[in-house]
A and B are shown apart, each in its own frame.
Chain A
Amino acid sequence: MIEITPQIVREHGLSDAEYGRIKQLLNREPNYVELGVFSVMWSEHCSYKSTRAHLRRLPTKGPVVIQGPGENAGVVDIGDGDAVIFKMESHNHPSFIEPYQGAATGVGGIMRDVFTMGARPIAMMNALRFGTPDHPKTRHLVAGVVAGIGGYGNCMGVPTVGGEVNFHSAYNGNILVNAMCVGIARQDKIFKSAAEGAGNPVIYVGSKTGRDGIHGATMASAEFDENSEEKRPTVQVGDPFTEKLLLEACLELMATDAIIAIQDMGAAGLTSSSAEMASKGNSGIELNLDHVPQREENMTAYDMMLSESQERMLAVLKPGREDEARRIFDKWELDFAIIGITTDTNRLVIRHKGEIVADMPVNALADEAPVYERPFTRRPALPPLAKNAFDPKRPIADSLLQLIGSPDLSSRRWVWEQFDYTVMADTVQAPGGDAAVVRVHGTNKSIAIACDVTPRYCRADPFEGGKQAVAECWRNLTSVGATPLAVTDNLNFGNPERPETMGEIVAAIDGIAEACIALGFPVVSGNCSLYNETNGEPILPTPAIGGVGLLKDGTRHASVAFKRAGDAIVLIGETKGHLGQSLYLREIEGSESGPPPPVDLGVEKRNGDFVRGLIEMGQVDTVHDISDGGLLIAVAEMAMAGGMGAMLEGPDGIAQLFGEDQARYLLAVPHSIAQEILGDAKAAGVPAAIIGFVGGTGTHLEVPGMTATRIAALKSAHETWLPNYMAAPQ
């Protein structure tokens, strides 16, 4: 067996102190297999050692929460005995190295997290960040990532219903690929990962094990440098066909009562699934690797324990139910093997070729992983925006056209048309709205899903940025009429060993926590992706928030498109004209300055609850929240979606039209209802005003102080940027 040298310890990403601790816990030197197992279990990716202490501040409980963080995915009550199960996860590093397979296996991984709990996946979302469009790698990465997400999700037959895409130079060397999966289960059919009890068979199902992605988990916990393209470890290739069979086979097995515990093999494969199941079940597991289905010859115990081959699951069955389970996996033509047994020793024991090759206390692996209170510095607040930060005389129409066709605001149609968003025949709101709406099959209930974060706000002020991400997600769910239920997060940051980056993490978590508490929007699952930096250049802090809401009656939902000429356009919320960190400033004035818009969570809740009430009562069917680009962009989006013009009367001037003040919505309603709404708003203390009308000349957007602009011209700028960019030669 390979001798453990300080060099080998370092190559496993363990510090001297961590190695010392391992020796102490084992009472001896670990052997090579054990070192490998510890290294993945104690990696940032699996142990959350830099963030664990801070994540505790997130609210995770609430009246609808059935299962918070700690299981494969979060579980939330949606009434009638149904539950929605969801989680978001990153596949950033693999996607940068091999965009198609990296993104595809990211989708596959997050789906397994959801169906391992007994849910049938019903919708996928993704949040993508790329470098600047003119960076030589960007086009190739966009093409590969989008094709990979589609390639896997489409084959699975789960609709991909939304997401977000941003471009910024901070992602030139580190793109972000975050995927979210939402599933539905019956509350009495939810499966967990605690391998309770001794003497129960441990079964392995799915694909065979190869030497895929060995050390993927440690790679996801290390910075990139110029050498990493050469040091590329084997990239995993996704097999969505096998995953589809695995999904159906697992759901079929779950319909019986043969399962005690089940867990997908994600990062660090067999190692983390077995250790975590034993730890949660307060039991031990003995594995015999001779029985592991293998794809390659001469695989060592180290290879098998660390392999990240995809499309595999580990389960603990009730004794005597093995044959019943085997028949199901045979039917789906998947590998099935009994590879071990649970014990009462609280140890993970691994046998291979007649020898014990590893024997470690389970709690040392799972619970004794280090937790760091890393030093951090807080960024000082930015001074208010300088008075001369923008040219007040700049023609508004030109800016509008430029913004609506800019990389971050242009239509994502080129992306979502590569995703099957109508399969399963329950998609009520397809991509292009504020939140996607998917019906709970066979009912009138619907689930709304949105994915949000504004990284430029987070860079300027991570605390306000964290709050804003939650608030915008909550607002997007509200805009379709859903009651926001709970969130999953995907915290993407740079190297936590830098105090400035750690400061961003701490502040963003504080902001998220504050917003989630204020909005009654608990966190039920999540994922951290750190070390996203290249040559010391970190990404923008990007804590993506995936939110899920419920529409008790899915037929009463609102959408962004103008529907009736003559409708009054009602603005809900207060407009101060906050231009700091706005897209207007960045795209038109070329400046990323000023503080981001502050979020008043009380106002946010008050305004949102008011708007949702109107949709629920059936008074309003046309709603759009105001976010990136401000009020005029939101009106333009409603006009383009409805193919109707609009005439504004109220707002005036660049700050009013393009400011990104929070907690605002636009409604379009018949005049008589508008008057009623104004009255109700006044009573509720909600700022509301009629700012214009749908229609106008019918074909133009008319705004005081702006040259009337054809909707067709807006649409052309909006729809062509991305396809033209992608069609241009490499």
Chain B
Amino acid sequence: MKSAVVVFPASNCDRDAAVALEQMTGQKPVMVWHGDSEIPDVDLIVLPGGFSYGDYLRCGAMASQSRIIRDVKAKADKGVAVLGICNGFQVLTETGLLPGALMRNAKLKFVCRPVGLTIEESQSAFTRAYAKGETVRFPVAHGEGNYFADDATLDRLEGEGRVAFRYAEGENPNGSARNIAGILSEKRNVLGLMPHPERVVDAALGGTDGRRVFQSLIETLS
């Protein structure tokens, strides 16, 4: 599986994503600069976590206007898999590739902790290696992960099986609507999620629950 990681100014999980991808796929991803106009032919595009443009104005807002995004959109339209983690998820909602918005955490504070997630949907390129209903633990680390969408959109997301990850009961760290942690696009080739699967692929760091996101992608896309 060939992959690319987009680097925005002040992305800071770009290396983490690259390390996880290399470890899982055996192939180094291509690192693509935000000012470039084209992403090489790959199976997966990752928008990494971090604080693109300092999270100034709104998280992901300025990154969503960068030159490379046009090609991300074009490739997503063609069906290339796009994974947005944390800040990457915020970029995806700002670009309109995913519906809704990520607002300030309800408690108004940055939160870093491992959280329980239930797998709501195992019918996707990102989650097929998990069992539906299973609970896993990924760390979150964000100040604005409070997912918001109007009720009609939320109903639609649920109805179409596009809520991929939900915070386990009592573990919602940010006030997110209906405990939503990660959602799929209509064509199911774009996933945005606030928790960090790439930080739990190494047993030495206390967990490997994130591996199956990458395994799912490898199974689907290779």
**A419 at the A/B interface (Cβ < 8 Å)?**
yes
Cross-chain contact A423 with B12 (CB below 8 angstroms) = yes
Cross-chain contact A421 with B112 (CB below 8 angstroms) = yes
Cross-chain contact B53 with A241 (CB below 8 angstroms) = yes
**B199 at the A/B interface (Cβ < 8 Å)?**
yes
User: A156-B12, A422-B196, A428-B204 given as contacts; is B20 within 8 A of A244 (CB)?
Assistant: no
**A173 at the A/B interface (Cβ < 8 Å)?**
no
**A610 at the A/B interface (Cβ < 8 Å)?**
no
User: A420-B110, A425-B205, A555-B204 given as contacts; is B9 within 8 A of A154 (CB)?
Assistant: no
User: A422-B139, A425-B202 given as contacts; is B54 within 8 A of A417 (CB)?
Assistant: no
User: A156-B12, A241-B10, A424-B16 given as contacts; is B141 within 8 A of A150 (CB)?
Assistant: no
CA distance A151 to B142 in the complex (A): 11
Residue-wise interface mask of B (113-124) relative to A, using a CB-CB cutoff of 8 A (1 in contact, 0 not): 100000000000
Cross-chain contact B54 with A241 (CB below 8 angstroms) = yes
Which residues of the partner chain A approach B50 to less than 8 Å between Cβ atoms?
A: 157
CA distance A244 to B14 in the complex (A): 13
Which residues of the partner chain B approach A333 to less than 8 Å between Cβ atoms?
A: 9
* Interface range, A side: 20 to 34
Cross-chain contact A150 with B110 (CB below 8 angstroms) = yes
CB nearest to B50 among chain A residues: A157
Write the nearest CB–CB distance from A152 to chain B, whole angstroms.
10
Interface residues of B in 174-216 (CB under 8 A from A): 196, 198-199, 202, 204-206
Q: Could you say which of B56, B110, B204 contacts A439, with CB atoms under 8 Å apart?
A: B204
Total of A-B residue pairs, C-beta within 8 Å: 86
Q: Could you say which of A151, A419, A426 contacts B112, with CB atoms under 8 Å apart?
A: A419
Write the nearest CB–CB distance from B178 to chain A, whole angstroms.
23
Residue-wise interface mask of A (326-367) relative to B, using a CB-CB cutoff of 8 A (1 in contact, 0 not): 000000110000000000000000000000000000000000
| 19 pairs, A vs B, C-beta closer than 8 Å | A147-B109, A147-B110, A150-B110, A154-B141, A154-B143, A155-B51, A157-B13, A241-B56, A417-B113, A419-B110, A422-B112, A422-B139, A422-B205, A423-B13, A425-B16, A425-B20, A425-B198, A425-B199, A425-B205
Main secondary structure of the interface of B (DSSP, over half): mixed
User: A244-B10, A245-B9 given as contacts; is B199 within 8 A of A154 (CB)?
Assistant: no
CB nearest to A239 among chain B residues: B54
Interface residues of A in 122-175 (CB under 8 A from B): 147, 150-151, 154-157
Cross-chain contact A244 with B12 (CB below 8 angstroms) = yes
**B38 at the A/B interface (Cβ < 8 Å)?**
no
CA distance A416 to B109 in the complex (A): 12
Which residues of the partner chain B approach A424 to less than 8 Å between Cβ atoms?
A: 15-16
| Closest 4 pairs (CB-CB, A-B) | A157-B12, A241-B54, A155-B51, A420-B141
**B221 at the A/B interface (Cβ < 8 Å)?**
no
CA distance A150 to B51 in the complex (A): 12
Interface residues of B in 1-49 (CB under 8 A from A): 9-10, 12-13, 15-16, 19-20, 49
Write the nearest CB–CB distance from B195 to chain A, whole angstroms.
11
Which residues of the partner chain B approach A430 to less than 8 Å between Cβ atoms?
A: 206
Which residues of the partner chain A approach B196 to less than 8 Å between Cβ atoms?
A: 422
Which residues of the partner chain A approach B9 to less than 8 Å between Cβ atoms?
A: 241, 244-245, 332-333
Which residues of the partner chain B approach A418 to less than 8 Å between Cβ atoms?
A: 109-112
Cross-chain contact A240 with B204 (CB below 8 angstroms) = no
Interface residues of B in 73-131 (CB under 8 A from A): 109-113
Which residues of the partner chain A approach B158 to less than 8 Å between Cβ atoms?
A: none
**A427 at the A/B interface (Cβ < 8 Å)?**
yes
Write the nearest CB–CB distance from B28 to chain A, whole angstroms.
13
Write the nearest CB–CB distance from A716 to chain B, whole angstroms.
16
CA distance A422 to B10 in the complex (A): 17
CA distance A156 to B50 in the complex (A): 8
Which residues of the partner chain B approach A151 to less than 8 Å between Cβ atoms?
A: 110
Which residues of the partner chain A approach B51 to less than 8 Å between Cβ atoms?
A: 154-155, 157, 240-241, 244
